[in-house]
Amino acid sequence: MDKLRITGGKTLRGRVAVAGAKNAALPALAATLLTGDRVELHNLPRVRDVRTMLRVLAQLGAQAEARPDGGADVRVDRIESFEAPYDLVKTMRASVLVLGPLLARHGRARVSLPGGCALGERPIDLHIEALRKLGAEITLQHGYVEAKARRLRGGRYDFRTKTVTGTENLMMAATLAEGTTILGNCAREPEVIDLARLLGAMGASIHGAGSDEITIEGRERLHGARHRVIPDRIEAGTYLVAGALIGDPVEVTGCDVEAMRPIVRQLEAAGVAIAVEGDALRAGVPAKLTGQDLRTAPHPGYPTDMQAQYMTLMTQAAGTSVVTETVFEHRFMHVGELLRMGADIRIQGRSCVVVGPSRLTGAQVMATDLRASACLVLAALAADGVSVLDRVYHLDRGYEAMEEKLRTLGAEVERIR
């Protein structure tokens, strides 16, 4: 299993370009199931989750051709299987995004239930309840969601909890339903808006993406389209935190500045000065980094996917900060590893009390999930001495060429196989 060996304390300087957003690329790939025409996707990040989604699609009968720019042309003119099997879904929960499109265009879907994960229980009950509301017959058997519908019927559904992939699944399903669907209490993430943009380009009628209520008028069919996936705000934010920890400075180019406001606001509140120039954001070690409380929340709140990285930053801030996680119940798996590197953190229910600044020292640490790995990489960059990060495959799921990008900035990072 690959590991990363990082020698900490090297100042980072220079520029990195942000990749396409993983969490926008995955629903965009699933949306190709809604038409028999070719969908041209650009700016897909070169990460393992995208390759996994392409495998899921291939299993269903999609023909995908890689583009030299990292994108892909996908065409699903014939479905060969209706099943997203356990082996794939267990490695990537987002496989559940094929449920809505398969059911809407092909009338049938069999998708493995993802089960729990390092972030908590993470059920998909709302996806199922909402699809039933559109007339799907759904049973849960042998660990699978089995769904059938002759043609979905538009209707109104209000999500009890905001769910990103739930909103996306339902938006896709409703594009081919008969009549109008109104979805209430929708997720407002930039990735939801990006999917609506793609669906619109495919001929769907969607209004309100980015607000709480989305209205979709069903169409008989959708057609091919060309779409460029938005930049990854979490990847960009991760490099900004690297800049704030040990940068002189670090510049991240190709950002969606608007989508990054909640992250930028929080970093600035802690004392990090962030310069914005066009689509580039720049951060260096601030004159004074101060402990600042954080509460994660659905967009436009501060993203849970940037919570672990922020916690690493807070270990270097003067004073106490309370980091509260409101989206996932168990998203503190990184704390134990940060403690091994010398951090002072106490878990209290859904919050962590971080006391800083503490001197971090290199250690052997283990990644438990994607964003936890990123926070450990950040800690290793700021620490004295050498760290070895095990289970790098978590990082490879969502960060394109992270060690190369870090090396460009002057970090001492190598992959050990």
Rounded-to-integer distance, Cα 247 and Cα 284, Å? 5
Is residue 56 a contact residue for ligand EPU (CB under 6 A)? no
Q: What count of other Cβ atoms lies within 10 Å of the Cβ of residue 267?
A: 27
Rounded-to-integer distance, Cα 62 and Cα 78, Å? 8
Q: Name the minimum Å distance from CB 357 to ligand EPU.
A: 27
Per-residue tokens: 90: 């267990």
Q: What count of other Cβ atoms lies within 10 Å of the Cβ of residue 278?
A: 9
Is residue 192 a contact residue for ligand EPU (CB under 6 A)? no
Q: How far from each other are the two terminal CA atoms of the chain, in whole angstroms?
A: 6
By rule CB under 6 A, what count of residues binds ligand EPU? 25
Per-residue tokens: 398: 């969502």
One character per residue 386-405, x = contact with ligand EPU (rule: CB under 6 A): ------------x-------
Chosen residue from 165, 175, 315, 316 binding ligand EPU by CB under 6 A: 165
One character per residue 107-146, x = contact with ligand EPU (rule: CB under 6 A): ---------------xxxxxx-------------------
Rounded-to-integer distance, Cα 276 and Cα 44, Å? 25
The interface region with ligand EPU, picked from 63-71, 148-156, 273-281, 302-310 by CB under 6 A, is 302-310
Chosen residue from 164, 195, 283, 402 binding ligand EPU by CB under 6 A: 164
Rounded-to-integer distance, Cα 169 and Cα 219, Å? 16
186 is catalytic: no
Q: Which residues contact 286 (CB under 8 A, 6 or more apart)?
A: 244, 270, 271, 272, 273
Is residue 300 a contact residue for ligand EPU (CB under 6 A)? no
Residue whose CB is less far from ligand EPU, 71 or 114: 114
- Burial of 141 from C-beta contacts in 10 A (0-12 / 13-18 / 19+): exposed
Is residue 263 a contact residue for ligand EPU (CB under 6 A)? no
Q: Name the catalytic one among 117, 186, 352, 375.
A: 117
List the catalytic residues: 117
Contact footprint for ligand EPU (CB under 6 A): 23, 26, 93-94, 122-127, 161, 163-166, 187, 191, 303-305, 327-328, 370-371, 398
